[in-house]
């Protein structure tokens, strides 16, 4: 993960784990923009933007790609990713692009390690 803006995030876990990732995406426009968010994960994962759940999958399963179209309001928008890894190797990756196919960059809290 990074303390500066990035186009995607990916974390790999070699045993059972719970990960909670918080970041921010900025919409510089003065109107909502359409954004496609994607998360690739095995097992359980949830994605919320501004406290609204946009992706949620429960249960033990192999890696899958989940995609959702959202309207991103103007200004700073909070993204939360919650991931529950059971006992096999696996991980989670998140990315987002705008309606023109350009990456929507996001960043984590400066205190994230």
Distances (CA, A) of 90 to 27, 48, 96, 108: 31, 21, 21, 22
Q: How far apart are CA 74 and CA 33, in angstroms?
A: 8
Cβ pair 85, 16 in contact under 8 A: yes
- What is the domain extent for residue 65? 8-108
> Is 44 inside a domain boundary?
yes
Total domains in the fold of the chain:
1
pTM, whole model, 2 decimals? Answer: 0.84
Tell me if 47 is assigned to some domain: yes
> What CATH number does the domain containing 73 carry?
2.60.120.260
Any domain includes 90: yes
104-113, pLDDT tens digit by residue?
888 876 655 4
Residue 1 lies in a domain: no
The answer to whether position 81 is within a domain reads: yes
Read off the pLDDT of residues 66-99 as tens digits, 9 standing for 90 and up: 999 999 999 999 999 999 999 777 889 999 999 9
């Amino acid at each position: 993960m990074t303390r500066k803006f990035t186009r995607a995030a990916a974390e790999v876990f070699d045993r059972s784990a719970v990960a909670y990732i918080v970041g921010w995406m900025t919409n510089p426009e003065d109107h909502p923009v359409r954004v496609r968010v994607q998360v690739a994960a095995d097992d359980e994962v949830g994605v919320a933007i501004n406290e609204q759940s946009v992706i949620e999958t429960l249960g033990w399963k192999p890696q899958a790609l989940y995609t959702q179209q959202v309207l991103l309001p103007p200004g700073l928008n909070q993204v939360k990713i919650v991931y529950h890894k059971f006992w096999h190797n696996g991980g989670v990756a998140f990315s987002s692009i705008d309606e023109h196919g350009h990456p929507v960059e996001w960043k984590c809290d400066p205190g994230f390690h």
